[in-house]
Amino acid sequence: MSVFVVDVNKVPLLPTNGARARLLLKRNKAKVYSVVPFTIQLNRKVDNPVGEFKIGVDDGAKEAGISVAYNNNVIFAGNIKLRQDVRKKTLQRAQYRKTRRRRKSQEEAGTDT
């Protein structure tokens, strides 16, 4: 399992493995920065961070996918389910608006039906 790492200035660094992260936390050389995704923050600044991440995004109509890779190893992958009820909600809102306007026009005319 990979653990994300940031330095004291919140600059992203290369991820580490769980055992090293536990050691850093136990020796008070790092603290927990975020639980989801699990990220630790070092107590010192890293002058020359090495490595480069590749980010992939796959946008679709019903789902969007995202992944982060380093050296062709996927470090993080996730799916986002997009809302499919926007058109229905918009039509419902328009119907409520029409009904409200009709009701107001009937009240002004004095015909409460």
User: What would the pLDDT profile of 36-72 be if each residue is shown by its tens digit?
Assistant: 889 999 999 999 888 888 899 999 999 999 998 888 8
SS3 of 56, please? strand
Question: Given a cut of 90, is residue 87 above it in pLDDT?
Answer: yes
Residue 76's domain spans which residues?
A: 52-82
Q: In total, how many domains does the chain have?
A: 3
Q: Same domain for 6 and 38?
A: yes
Q: Same domain for 31 and 57?
A: no
Residue 96 located in a structural domain: yes
Residue 47 located in a structural domain: no
Q: Which residues pair with 17 in a beta bridge?
A: 2
CA–CA gap between residue 20 and residue 32 (Å, rounded): 13
Using CA atoms, how far residue 24 sits from 10, 34, 40, in Å, is: 17, 15, 9
CA–CA gap between residue 95 and residue 101 (Å, rounded): 10
Question: Given a cut of 80, is residue 109 above it in pLDDT?
Answer: no
**pLDDT value of residue 107:** 79
